[in-house]
Amino acid sequence: MRAVAVTPDPLQLEPLLCLVADGGGHGAIVSFVGTVRDNNLQRRVTHLEYEAYEPLAVKALEQIVEEAGAQWPGIRAAVHHRTGRLAIGEASIVIAAASAHRANAFAACRYVIERVKQIVPIWKHEFFEGGEVWIEGATVNPTDEAARLEAVRRSCA
């Protein structure tokens, strides 16, 4: 089990929880599971397809976990992202973060998802009743310090 992964296989949270728990001793483990919503912008979503530039996506996830470790020393984080076709309700991303205390565990977990949405080369193709559309979110700039600090700010809100 690796701390970061981009995979077409269904995601499982439990192994990530074990990974960040690292045998225990942390006081808090926080997890996040992103799932496919059945609606978006008044559209009735039927399913999603996620596409990744896999080698760079893996490096980007590793960078994000490193950033979280630098921001909140002592935390342990792990994140897996799914690719391919996902049905409504399936998990597209699972994140786990462990820390001595709950505040940093919550913050690190939130930070990982915020940064994923900023810099990881993964794209969501939304299929809905009556059409399909590529969702386009953030322009990728991994060295944009203002964006990184905005992710930190949201994580501590």
Partner 1 sequence: MRVTVRLFARLRDIAGTSDLARDVPAGSTAADVWRALVMEFPEMARYDSSISTAVNADYAKMTTSLADNDEIAFLPPVSGG
Token couple for 156: 């501590």
The mark string for 58-77 relative to partner 1 (x by CB under 8 A, - otherwise) is: -xx-----------------
**Closest to 121 in 3D by CA, of 143, 136, 108:** 136
Contact 109, 30 (CB under 8 A): yes
Q: Which of 65, 68, 77, 122 binds partner 1 (CB under 8 A)?
A: 122
Q: Which residue has the tokens 């979110």?
A: 137
* Region from 14-22, 102-110, 134-142, 145-153 binding partner 1, contact rule CB under 8 A: 134-142
Q: Identify the sign of the CA torsion 122, 96, 32, 113.
A: negative
Indicate whether 34 belongs to the interface with partner 1 (CB under 8 A).
yes
Contact 84, 123 (CB under 8 A): no
**What are the strands, taking DSSP E only, across 8-114?**
28-35, 39-40, 43-52, 76-82, 84-87, 91-99
Tell me the closest approach of the beta carbon of residue 119 to partner 1, in angstroms: 7
What value, to the nearest 5°, has the Cα angle with vertex 138 and ends 61 and 54? Answer: 35
Q: Which residue has the tokens 């809100």?
A: 157
* Region from 11-19, 23-31, 68-76, 121-129 binding partner 1, contact rule CB under 8 A: 121-129
120 vs 53: CA distance, rounded Å: 9
For residues 33 and 100, which CB has a smaller minimum distance to partner 1 in the complex? 33
Indicate whether 142 belongs to the interface with partner 1 (CB under 8 A).
yes
* Region from 15-23, 66-74, 132-140, 147-155 binding partner 1, contact rule CB under 8 A: 132-140
Indicate whether 43 belongs to the interface with partner 1 (CB under 8 A).
no
Tell me the closest approach of the beta carbon of residue 100 to partner 1, in angstroms: 27
Q: Which of 16, 26, 92, 152 binds partner 1 (CB under 8 A)?
A: 92
Give the 3-state secondary structure of residue 152.
helix
Which residues lie near partner 1 (CB under 8 A)? Answer: 34, 50-53, 55-57, 59-60, 81, 92-93, 113, 116-125, 134-143
